[in-house]
Structure 1
C-alpha cells in the first residue's frame, strides 16, 4: 500500500511537471493572441482646411484608452493628418524572422476609426541588427536588406488599410539620427535603393517618402549636421531620385512669422520654397512635398520660444499659408501631446496636456478648422 501511494504521489508530481513544461512550451512557441481592439464608431474629420496635421507620439504606449482619446481629440481639432513613428525595434525586437504588430495595429485601427490619414515614419534599429555599443539609430549597410524587408512587410500589411505614406528614416543629415556618425548621403541613397523596390513590390500603391531633414546650414563642418540643401543635392548626385515618390520637410518657424522671407542661412517656414526650387532644379519637379514636423514653441524660459499669442497666430497662419502651395501634400506640425511631462521646454510644443486638457493653441486651431476664420492680424 505504501508503495502504491508513493507511486501515485510520484505520478502526480510527474504530471504537474509535465503540465508546467507544456504550458511553458505553449507560451514560447505559440504566437501571442492580440487583445481585441475596442474601436469607436467610424467618423470623418470636419475641417475647412484638409492640410492640417499633427505629429503624434503613441506607438509603444499600449494604453488603448489614451490612444483612443488622443486620436479622437485630433479629429475634433479638425486635423486630417498625423505622423506616427513605428519603430523597427518594436515590430522585430528579437530577430528578422518574426513580427509583433500589436502596437502598430492598435494605433492604426484607432486612427482609421477617426478618419485620419496616417504618415508612417520607419526607423529605430533593433539590437540584433546593429553592432554592440551603438545607438538605436545606427544602421549599417549589412542590415539595409533587413530594414527593407521590414518596410516591405509594413507596407504590405497597412497600405491596404489606407496607410500609404511611408517615411524612410528621420533626419539622416544629422549625426545623432545617423547613429552618431557623420551624415552620409551616399549611404542614405543606398538605403533608399534597397527599400523603395521592396516596398513597391509588396504594395505598389504605397508612397515612399524621403528626406525629413534637419533644416539649416551645416554644423561642425557637416559632421554634426550637413546643410539640408547640400544633402538634397548630394542625393541627386548619388542617383537617389528614382527611389522616392515624395520629399519630406521639417518646416519649423523659429521665431519668425510664417510669411518671413526665406534665406539659405535662415530657418523659417518659407524655407520650404527654397527646397521646392532646388528639387525642381535637380530634376525632381514631379516630387510633391509633405511637411512632417514644424510649428512653434511657447515655453516662457526657452531661448527659441515665442510668446503664446504669437504661437497661436503664427500656427494658424502656417496652416492657412500652406493652402497656397499646390505642390504641398499636408502640413503636419510637432507635436500633439505626450503621456508624460518633461517639465522643460519640450512640453511647450504640445497642443494638449498629458491628461487630455486642451491648451489654448488646440482651441484656437479647432475654431479655425471649424469656421475658416483667421485671427484679425492674419491675412489670407
Structure 2
C-alpha cells in the first residue's frame, strides 16, 4: 500500500509539473549589451513587436534598429495583453521580451499604453473604449507597468494615442475633459510607483477639425481645451505626431496644413498656455513612398526629407527625440501601409534604412539621383 501511495504521489507531482511548465517564463536568448553609435542621438523609429512572441524576430529587429543608428523606439504595450482576463493578474512575458532585448541593444524605450481589455469595457464596444468607471483600473495597470520597467531603464510613458480622434476614443466624439480626467488618475498613480517616470500626454492626430470636431478635433483646439480643464499639472512631456505630408521638413508651418514644422506651432501654443516647462517628443512622423497612394511622396524625396527631418530636429533644444513611423511589420498588407516601413518583413533593408544608417554613421546627407 505504501508503495502504491508513493507511486501515486510521484505521478501527481509529475503531472502537475507538466501543467505548470508551460506557464513558467522561459529564459531569454539575450545578446551581449551594446551601445548605439550615432551622430544624431535624436534618431528614433516606431516598432511593432508586442504580441508577436517570436523572440528571434524581436531580437533581429531590434539589432537592426541598433545597427541603423537609432537610439530610440516607441512600442505599444496594450493593456489588453497584460491584463487580458481581469484586474487581478498580469502577464508580463511579451513586454519582458521586448524590453529586455531593447535594453540589450542600448535602445531607449518609449512605452505607449492603451488598448482596453474586454472585461474593462461594455459589450459591443471597441478596444479603444475606456469610460470613467475604469480609469482607476487603467491607472493601476500603468503604475504597475512603470514600477516594473522603470528600474530596467524605461522612463517615458505615453498615455493613450490620438485621443482627439473618434476612432482612438472608442468611436465617440473626442472629449478633452474626459482625457484630462484620465491623466488625473494616471499621473499620481505612476508617480507613486515610479517617481522618476516621465508621463507623456498628447500624441494627437495633427490638423484641423474634421466633421465639425466629431471625427477629429483640431489638435491645437484639443491642447487648449486640456489647459482649460486643468490637465497641465498631470503630464511632464507632450507628444506630437509630426508627419511631413507632401512637403519637405523645412516647409513653412500653418494652422491649416500638416507638415513637420507644425511642431513649432505646438511649441508656441504650449508656451502661451503655461507649459513652457514641457519638453516635446515626436512619437510618430515621416514620409510614405507608395507608388499609388495620394499621400505618398517620391522615393527620392522620402530619402532626402527623412534625413532632413532628423537633421532639422537638432535645431530644437526643447525636443527629446524624433521617432518616425515605422520600422517594420511581420506581414505585408500589399498596400500603402507597407511603404512606411524601413525594412521588409523578412528583414531585408529598404533604401530608406540604408540612407538613415549612412547619415547616422557619418552625418552626411544622402546623394540621391532623381529618376
TM-score scaled by length of structure 2: 0.95
User: Matches of 2:48 and 2:367 in 1, distance apart?
Assistant: 32
User: Matches of 1:21 and 1:196 in 2, distance apart?
Assistant: 45
- Determine whether 1:156 maps to 2:156: no
Of residues 343, 354, 363 in structure 1, which corresponds to 2:345?
354
Of residues 230, 242, 250 in structure 2, which corresponds to 1:251?
242
Match of 1:202 in 2: 193
Please state how far the C-alpha of 1:24 moved relative to its aligned partner.
6.7
Match of 1:138 in 2: 129
Match of 1:53 in 2: 44
Match of 1:102 in 2: 93
User: Matches of 1:345 and 1:91 in 2, distance apart?
Assistant: 30
Of residues 201, 212, 216 in structure 2, which corresponds to 1:221?
212
Of residues 180, 190, 200 in structure 2, which corresponds to 1:189?
180
User: Matches of 1:326 and 1:183 in 2, distance apart?
Assistant: 31
User: Matches of 1:96 and 1:25 in 2, distance apart?
Assistant: 27
Of residues 261, 268, 290 in structure 2, which corresponds to 1:299?
290
Match of 1:267 in 2: 258
Please state how far the C-alpha of 1:374 moved relative to its aligned partner.
1.4
Please state how far the C-alpha of 1:332 moved relative to its aligned partner.
0.1
1:355-378 deviations in whole A, cap 9, x for unaligned?
Answer: 00000000000000000011369x
Cα RMSD for the two superposed structures: 2.1
3-state SS, counterpart of residue 125 of structure 1: coil
Please state how far the C-alpha of 1:33 moved relative to its aligned partner.
1.1
Please state how far the C-alpha of 1:32 moved relative to its aligned partner.
2.2
3-state SS, counterpart of residue 326 of structure 2: coil
Residues 31 and 149 of structure 1, relative CA distance in 2, 3 Å threshold: farther
Q: Max radius of gyration: which structure?
A: 1
Unmatched tracts of structure 1, length 5 or more: 1-10
- Determine whether 1:178 maps to 2:199: no
Match of 2:66 in 1: 75
3-state SS, counterpart of residue 53 of structure 1: strand
3-state SS, counterpart of residue 290 of structure 1: strand
User: Matches of 2:207 and 2:133 in 1, distance apart?
Assistant: 30
Residues 197 and 369 of structure 1, relative CA distance in 2, 3 Å threshold: same
User: Matches of 2:343 and 2:366 in 1, distance apart?
Assistant: 21
Unmatched tracts of structure 2, length 5 or more: none
Match of 1:116 in 2: 107
3-state SS, counterpart of residue 202 of structure 2: strand
Q: What number of residue pairs does the alignment pair up?
A: 366
User: Matches of 1:19 and 1:228 in 2, distance apart?
Assistant: 63
Residues 304 and 209 of structure 1, relative CA distance in 2, 3 Å threshold: same
Q: What are the equivalent positions in structure 2 for 1:16-35 lying under 5 Å apart?
A: 23=15, 27=19, 32-35=23-26
